[in-house]
Amino acid sequence: MMRRVSPAALSGASALSFGIPRRTTITQQRWNSKSSPSIEIPTLSFLSDKNCLLETVDGTVEACEALLNAIPKAKSFREKHDLLDSTSNVLCLLLDPCEFVRQMHPDEAYKRNATHAFQRGHEYMCEVNARRSLYDVLVELASPQARKELSDEENKNVAQLKRDMEGNGIHLPDAERKVITEMNVEKEELAMRFLMDQESRNPFGTLRNLIQCRYDLARKLGFESYAEQQLRGTMLENQQKVWHFLCGVTHKYRAAAEREAQLVMKYQGEVRNRSGLTDDNRAKICTSLRRDAEPEKAIEYFSVANCVRGIQCLCSEVFGVKLEQVPFAKDELFHRDAKKFLVYDEEKQFLGVIVLDMFARPTKLCQAGHLTVQLGCRPHTKVLKQVGLDLPERQYPVVVLTCNAGSDGALQQRPDGSMDDEMILMKPHEVVTCFHEFGHALHTIFGQTKVQNLAGTRGSIDFVETFSQLFEQFLTSHDFLKLWAHRINTREPISFDMVMKRNEVANMFYHLDTMDQVCLAAVDQTLHGPQPLAVYFPHGDKGHVGKRTLGDMKEYGRGMFNLAKLVMEITAPITVLTPTEGGALRTLSFEHLSTYPAGYYGYLYSLEVARRIWKKKFEHDPLNRAAGRELVDKVLRHGAACHPVELLSQYLGDDLDEIDVWG
Ligand SMILES: [Zn+2]
């Protein structure tokens, strides 16, 4: 999942989301392979031929149909559940590799075929999701009688699947359902168009239509707003709690943000008072102040090869996990600079596969991210066998970490044409992104559940972004960095002073940056909230909350400056800067409005939790094997098959409702 946007990157699309909620690796031959009862190490053999995935589509659809047809004959609730979960897994084992090939493969023919295979698989999935008979099965599985028979994990899965199907109006009479389906299609198209319009001068017409469409859809489904619909199943659950959190953070950080604003103002020569510091030029000034303060030569400690060693170090020192590099088999090779690692735990038990693809390439659609090729779960072999499918007892995860090192063109090659990873350097934000995405990758590796649909990072943003942001924190520790951040050529380890200086630079405008994030989250909540639109903000110093009502969407006219005016009104009671039209329009073009509607607060929320974990469990002794073990055992290994609020409060020994008063 992409990182939150930094103020400097507000106007540019920094990363693409790979928004498919499904993941995957199957080829026809894998179905029939005689698996040893012990371990079947997954492969990327779907890369052996450009037609491979396309040729798997028919077999996959056939297998899914056989599974679904077996449901009416199933003898128990559990068997019905297992048939459903198996269908989801089998489909993902097609769709996820397709998405990986589409995003990453350098060969156009591969990409084209994978896209085609994906479309066919996806169409089938949508058709299945619209089957009323399937919804009836979920209703049956959600009955009190069935709930008693199913495990917590299975019940959670049923609730989630049922909710997703209801989002398509499946439970409504046919005529209403038809309208909902059409609106859902329109909503998806508008969201795509908004992303594609990013480069154009005015994507705001599309944004307005998208927001209105989402609102109308939610109302038709019986919700007060689209945010209400979207927030079900998240840690904070509803808008009231989200606004409470945002107001709490504003209250906590505002004074410090004002002090940082004073500092920035000193450099904004022409204006003398604070009301003159605009959101528009604040990012520019901060970026240049940061660049000037960055310790000279610091970048020379962060070659691509070093960062990979850093990842290995984090794995071994904190999590007792070994990444063993192995060559790709001939039929798995997709790019000469990608690397394959087998992951083993302390007892040398195999855990999964991680592929690292660190360098920028024009053919990469996903510049920096984590793609799941296959989730870790326990396939329901009994029901699968009934329909002639032979999957291993245990399905191990396969994840791909992609970065865009050398995106500025500085790609030094060795004489044989391969990238010289010892000499190609990563910029500070690229190193942070790399560790962030690796946090997601490791969550997928540890989060091996029984149910496929709840494995790894398939939880809400306010939960899953916790661990990626926790992994970023390790980059502030000298004890950790000195192990692998060694200067190119001389191999001298990074000094304590340089690490402190880097931290200082990264935190120069920490509170101001946080307030930017609060503003983005507030805009996201207001635009997706009930109409008339409203914004909430801290009022006085006693923790009271004020409300400002802003009117209906249509009262703001159709032009883009009307939309900018609306954003300025939303941010005015929160920001410590002076909102401008330019700044407001930049805020509106951030792609999360398309990809994670009403979810942007999740980055801020999970960051607060991540910082708490760091402070309580790691900061005093980052390379602490016991703390790593505790994090895995108590949290990561549950994937998304847990109740995140309970889980994190128990792990931290804190009440998460007090997040705004944590130090
Ligand atoms: Zn992320």
For 380-398, what is the HEC assignment? Answer: CHHHHHHCCCCCCCCECCE
* Cα 1 to middle of ligand 1, angstroms: 4
- CATH classification at residue 166: 1.20.1050.40
Peptide bond into 532 cis (omega under 30): yes
Closest CA relative to residue 230, chosen from 602, 614, 634 = 602
582 and 445 belong to one structural domain: no
Mean pLDDT throughout 257-280?
Answer: 73
Structural domain count of the chain = 3
> What pLDDT does 10 receive?
29
Residue 427 in contact with residue 356, Cβ under 8 Å? no
Q: Is the pLDDT of residue 4 over 70?
A: no
* Cα 63 to middle of ligand 1, angstroms: 33
Q: Report d(CA 10, CA 7) in Å as an integer.
A: 5
Q: Report d(CA 429, CA 2) in Å as an integer.
A: 13
* Cα 373 to middle of ligand 1, angstroms: 17
306 and 403 belong to one structural domain: yes
502 and 529 belong to one structural domain: no
* Cα 369 to middle of ligand 1, angstroms: 8
* Cα 96 to middle of ligand 1, angstroms: 18
> What pLDDT does 2 receive?
54
310 and 292 belong to one structural domain: no
* Cα 212 to middle of ligand 1, angstroms: 27
Q: Report percent pLDDT > 90 for the chain.
A: 68
Q: Are strands 350-359 and 339-344 parallel, antiparallel or unpaired?
A: antiparallel
545 within a domain of the structure (yes/no): yes
Mean pLDDT throughout 360-377?
Answer: 90
Mean pLDDT throughout 220-245?
Answer: 95
* Cα 350 to middle of ligand 1, angstroms: 25
Residue 438 in contact with residue 311, Cβ under 8 Å? yes
Mean pLDDT throughout 364-371?
Answer: 87
* Cα 589 to middle of ligand 1, angstroms: 19
432 and 344 belong to one structural domain: yes
* Cα 466 to middle of ligand 1, angstroms: 8
Q: Which domain holds residue 542?
A: 239-296+510-602
Take residue 2 and report the two structure tokens written for it: 């992409």
Task: Answer with the one of 551, 573, 602 that is the final residue of a domain.
Answer: 602
114 and 136 belong to one structural domain: yes
Q: How confident is the model at residue 324 (pLDDT cuts 50, 70, 90)?
A: very high
104 and 152 belong to one structural domain: yes
Take residue 165 and report the two structure tokens written for it: 């199907």
Q: What is this structure's pTM?
A: 0.91
118 and 137 belong to one structural domain: yes
108 and 59 belong to one structural domain: yes
Q: Which residues of 220-252 are buried (b: 16+ CB within 10 A; e: fewer)?
A: ebebebbbbbbbeebbbeebebbbbbbbbbbbb
Q: Report d(CA 510, CA 528) in Å as an integer.
A: 27
* Cα 436 to middle of ligand 1, angstroms: 6
* Cα 2 to middle of ligand 1, angstroms: 5
67 within a domain of the structure (yes/no): yes
Segment holding 546, helix H or strand E: strand 544-551
638 within a domain of the structure (yes/no): no
Mean pLDDT throughout 300-309?
Answer: 96
* Cα 14 to middle of ligand 1, angstroms: 13
> What pLDDT does 542 receive?
76
Q: How confident is the model at residue 78 (pLDDT cuts 50, 70, 90)?
A: very high
Q: Which residue has the higher pLDDT, 565 or 32?
A: 565
Q: Report percent pLDDT > 70 for the chain.
A: 92
141 within a domain of the structure (yes/no): yes
* Cα 368 to middle of ligand 1, angstroms: 10
> What pLDDT does 21 receive?
33
**Single-letter amino acid code for the residue at 414:** R
Q: Is the pLDDT of residue 610 over 80?
A: yes
18 within a domain of the structure (yes/no): no
Closest CA relative to residue 353, chosen from 391, 381, 327, 334 = 327
* Burial class of residue 37, CB neighbours in 10 A (0-12, 13-18, 19+): exposed
345 and 440 belong to one structural domain: yes
* Cα 33 to middle of ligand 1, angstroms: 35
85 and 40 belong to one structural domain: yes
Take residue 115 and report the two structure tokens written for it: 């896209």
15 within a domain of the structure (yes/no): no
**What does the pLDDT look like over 426-463, one tens digit per residue?**
999 999 999 999 999 999 999 999 999 999 998 899 99
444 within a domain of the structure (yes/no): yes
* Cα 596 to middle of ligand 1, angstroms: 12
* Cα 440 to middle of ligand 1, angstroms: 7
Q: Are strands 350-359 and 398-405 parallel, antiparallel or unpaired?
A: parallel
| Max Cα-Cα span within the chain | 78
> How many residues would you count in the chain?
663
- CATH classification at residue 338: 1.10.1370.40
* Burial class of residue 414, CB neighbours in 10 A (0-12, 13-18, 19+): exposed
Take residue 343 and report the two structure tokens written for it: 């992951």
246 within a domain of the structure (yes/no): yes
Residues in CB range of 174: below 8 A, 6 or more apart: none
Task: Answer with the one of 187, 210, 231 that is the final residue of a domain.
Answer: 231
CA 559 to chain centre: 32
**What does the pLDDT look like over 530-551, one tens digit per residue?**
999 999 999 887 778 899 999 8
* Cα 609 to middle of ligand 1, angstroms: 14
280 and 168 belong to one structural domain: no
Task: Answer with the one of 506, 526, 552 that is the final residue of a domain.
Answer: 506
